[in-house]
Amino acid sequence: MRPVLLSSLTRSHVVVRDDVEVGQARAARERVNAEFIVVVTSDGNPLGVLGVPELAELAATSETLTAVAHLFPTLVVVGGDPDELAPDELFDLAELVVRERLRFVLVERDGQPAGVVPRAAIADALPLDALDGLAVRTGNPMVPALRYVCRKCAPPSFQLPRVPAEGGRPPNCRRVFFHGATEPDA
């Protein structure tokens, strides 16, 4: 299997702050004809990703996105550099998508949202049914995990930075700064 360009899997998005109302966020998405909304805090940290189905579920509320953040789907942040996803990285991402029943993942470059990869794009790049029953991490056990989870978030948030942090430290939670360091997700 050949490497895949991560940027080729991403779909359009619009970034909105968490202090806007659900209706304003929906209008922002429609204005630019984006497939997804990336919700960020005032500090620019990602809080969640919403697609059309998630927005439909929130249609009856006039609350801010902060007030309904507990209803957001699981957040997964993938490092976008380098753009080329090696087959084992794609396989690892697909395994996480299947295990957590994710609909999409957020791609970040330099701490900024760069796109949203829907489950279908991952399925097109790698058949997800090939992953059924997989529960064992493969590869070199001496290489530190490059998939992390913050279990303090509800629902948990995941990160796949793709490049080890300085000193091998795990990254901090991207959703809630005060949660601190994430833990390896085996």
CA dihedral 167, 173, 178, 180 (to 10 degrees): -30
Closest-CA residue to 143 (of 80, 76, 86, 100): 86
How many other C-beta atoms can be found within 10 angstroms of the C-beta atom of residue 170?
20
Q: What is the pLDDT of residue 11?
A: 94
Contact yes or no for 97/105 (Cβ under 8 A): yes
Place of tokens 């993938």: 78
Q: What is the pLDDT of residue 147?
A: 82
| pLDDT, tens only, 145-163 | 578 889 998 888 888 887 7
Place of tokens 């993942």: 105
Helices marked H in the chain: 6-9, 22-32, 52-57, 87-100, 119-125
The SS3 assignment for 55 reads helix
Q: Is the pLDDT of residue 131 over 70?
A: no
pLDDT band at 137 (very low <50, low <70, confident <90, very high): very low
Q: Is the pLDDT of residue 130 over 60?
A: no
| pLDDT, tens only, 71-114 | 888 898 998 888 888 888 888 888 888 888 889 999 998 889 99
Q: Is the pLDDT of residue 179 over 80?
A: yes
Contact yes or no for 71/58 (Cβ under 8 A): yes
Closest-CA residue to 174 (of 159, 162, 155): 159
Q: Is the pLDDT of residue 121 over 80?
A: yes
| pLDDT, tens only, 24-60 | 999 999 999 999 999 999 988 999 999 999 988 888 8
